[in-house]
Structure 1
Amino acid sequence: MTTIKVGVYVDAENVLRCGGHGLRYDTLLDFILSQPGAVLQRACIYQGVDKERIQAEDLYRTSVHGFQRALRDGGWKIVEKPVRWFLQEDGSKIYKANADIDMTVDILTQARNLDRIILVTGDGDFTALVEELQNQGKRVEVLSFLNTALELQQSADQYYSGYLVPGLLPVRDAPAVPWGKPGSRIRGSCVHWDAAGHYGFIRFMRLESGGSLHLSDSRHPDSPYQSAFVAGSEIPKTFPQQYLAQRQAILEFDLFESDRDPDSFVARNCTVITSRYAA
């Protein structure tokens, strides 16, 4: 089997601001390395740290250092970016810990030893970096959550919504049933919608997602995906159903076996987690 050298770079501040709070970094690596031939070369997290709070607040210092120790134990390198505070006109303070330059320099320097690069960010400022890496012959993938720049998503060789990766983010109030088993609450996106019949199919990733992720047709024997039938009555009434087939809506739903076919699934009690559509 051909070895594929992988580098993973996480813009932690962007992840936290854009829906990724609670991201499980061990699950992230498991997902990325589940692809055939993948060998981890670099795993870097760019984290904003308030140096003044580190000195002044015991609780903050303990929290930051504990988080970093756990990540290092899991094979991650932590690159700290000092937080800078800015005073706004109304007297309030905002902070910035922009890691764009640090990440870009590191990735361009290390890219010669990598075949596949995964950026965990939704920041559109990285679009030019993606295109430069592709010009060097690298495969570049992007994983993010909310507020992903469309140009970044479209420039990547493959884009993943972090909401759809099994176990990457906890599902609130989920029953103690493994992802993808009947009775579990999981997430997926609609890949087919019949407007006349008011029904469709939601594609979701299996818990064991090893295999070729480009095999998006769940009917393929090597595909890591499965599908569930969904009736229009299970979709929130406030959501414009004509936009379901755009595949931008992330749906959270209860998974059940079909009454008609024990080898098939149905989705019930759907909620829309996030969506990008033009009303």
Structure 2
Amino acid sequence: MYSAQRVGVFVDAENVRYNGGYQMRYDVLRRFAGRSDGPLQRLNTYLAFDSERAREDYDYAKKSRAYQQMVRDYGWKITVKYVRRYTDENGVVSTKANADLDMAVDAMLQAGKLEQVILVTGDGDFLQVVSALQNGGCRVELIGFKNVSRQLQQQVDAFWSGFLIPDLLPINYEPRNDWGKPGSCVRGVCTKWFPDKGYGFLRFMNHISPNLWVTDPREPDSPYTSVFCHANEVAEDVGEEMLLNRETIFEFYLNESDQKDNGLVANNVRLAFGVNR
């Protein structure tokens, strides 16, 4: 008899925040983690808090605590990492709130009750943790934004760019964005481009689904949608090599096609904000 896999999620919040994932939505992340209906056994996130700053900045203290409460309301266990200050020999002060060790230890200790682990980070220091989890029988997935370790991407069982997961990262200038509907703004990749013809096709994840491996939009159970794109709609700073690189992430608007029933065309296609070029 089939038994849904027990899932554990571990979020390196500071790494995410400094690498393009600022304002990541924990409610959407929870939906993504539970897309296959497996019980969400562990939802752990590691947040930094600057207690010294909080004593002097009431606004910071208030917003930090309100944010922590919101994340808790979504069912997450928060481990607070207090910011520490270090002064070097030249008198330069630096701050640090590293959660790597806590997160690695928790993942290893809790893995015995899990079949699937999702790490949200880009830090290559987790490479050995991933190997150990896999050797213990866990399937390990990775979600990251910018500056994700190449080795880590190759080691995990699946890597998902957080930029491509619907609504995981809000589009700030479209606060009421209805992802995937005509008129909305989405992020996707170029799957085909014909330079001599001046057009190609983009693909985006239409909705969160257990069938993310069905990448052909022509399949009825695929959660992906293909969009026609004319070269005139592509920003000037986007070169042909970028269009032919499946790792380049684009941001674009969707509109209904005048030529094809139920078809979509891409408008104002540009490199996604904050994504490495």
Unaligned stretches of 5+ residues in structure 2: none
Q: Deviations over 1:44-69 (max 9, x none)?
A: 11111223233443322222221111
Structure 1 CA distance for aligned equivalents of residues 217 and 3 of structure 2? 25
Pairing 1:226–2:207 present: no
Q: Tell me what 1:69 maps to.
A: 69
1:19 paired with 2:20, answer yes
Which amino acid is the alignment partner of residue 195 of structure 1? P
Matched, 1:41 2:41: yes
> CA offset at residue 92 of structure 1?
4.0
Indicate whether 1:128 and 2:128 are aligned.
yes
Q: Could you say which residue in structure 1 is the equivalent of 2:244?
A: 245
Change (3 A) 1:90 1:200: farther
**Partner-residue secondary structure (3-state), 2:260:** coil
Deviations 1:229-273 (A, max 9, x none): 112222222222123232111111010111111222111101101
TM-score norm. by structure 1 comes to 0.92
Q: Secondary structure, in 3 states, of the residue corresponding to 1:137?
A: coil
Matched residue, 2:184: 184
In structure 2, the CA distance between the partners of 1:254 and 1:175, relative to structure 1 (3 Å rule), is farther
The one-letter code matched in structure 1 to 2:150 is L
Task: Quote the Cα distance in structure 1 between the aligned partners of 2:197 and 2:128.
Answer: 43
AA at the equivalent of 1:219:
R
Instruction: For 2:89 and 2:238, locate their aligned partners in 1 and report how far apart those are by CA, in whole Å.
Output: 38
1:88-99 matches, cutoff 5 A: 88=88, 91-99=91-99
Give the CA deviation at 1:210.
2.2
> What is the 5 A alignment of 1:201-216?
201-206=201-206, 208-216=207-215
Q: Deviations over 1:193-225 (max 9, x none)?
A: 22332322111111x322311111111111111
- The answer (yes or no) to whether the contact 2:171–2:177 under 8 Å persists in 1 is no
Aligned-residue identity in percent: 43
RMSD: 1.8
Task: After TM superposition, list the pairs within 5 Å mapping 1:81-160 onto structure 2.
Answer: 81-88=81-88, 91-160=91-160
Shift in alpha-carbon separation, 1:90–1:236, aligned structure 2, 3 A: farther
1:128 & 1:220 partners in 2: Cα distance?
A: 37
Contact 2:20 2:275 in 1 (8 A): no
Moved more, 216-225 or 56-65: 56-65
Whether the 8 Å CA contact 2:126–2:152 is kept in 1: the answer is yes
SS at match of 2:163: helix
SS of the residue 2:244 aligns to: helix
Name 1:256's counterpart in structure 2.
Answer: 255
In structure 2, the residue matched to 1:269 is 268
Rounded Cα–Cα distance in structure 1 between residues aligned with 2:238 and 2:177: 28
Structure 1 range deviating more: 188-197 or 113-122: 188-197
Q: 1:244 to 1:105 in 2, by over 3 A?
A: same
Tell me the equivalent position of 1:200.
200
Identify the residue that residue 28 of structure 1 maps to in structure 2: 29
Query: C-alpha displacement at 1:25, in angstroms?
Result: 0.6
The answer to whether structure 1 residue 5 and structure 2 residue 6 are counterparts is yes
Distance 1:263 1:88, change over 3 A: farther
Deviation for aligned residue 1:135: 1.5
The size of the alignment, in residue pairs, is 275
Inter-partner Cα distance in structure 2 for 1:225 and 1:233: 24
Tell me if structure 2 keeps the 8 A contact 1:211–1:223: no
CA apart distance, 1:190: 1.1
Unaligned runs of 5+ in 1: none
Distance 1:139 1:39 in 2: 15
What secondary structure, in the 3-state scheme, does the structure 1 residue paired with 2:6 have? strand
Scaled by the length of structure 2, the TM-score of the pair is 0.93
Q: Distance in 1 between matches of 2:52 and 2:173?
A: 37
Distance (Å, rounded) in 2 between the aligned partners of 1:272 and 1:250: 6
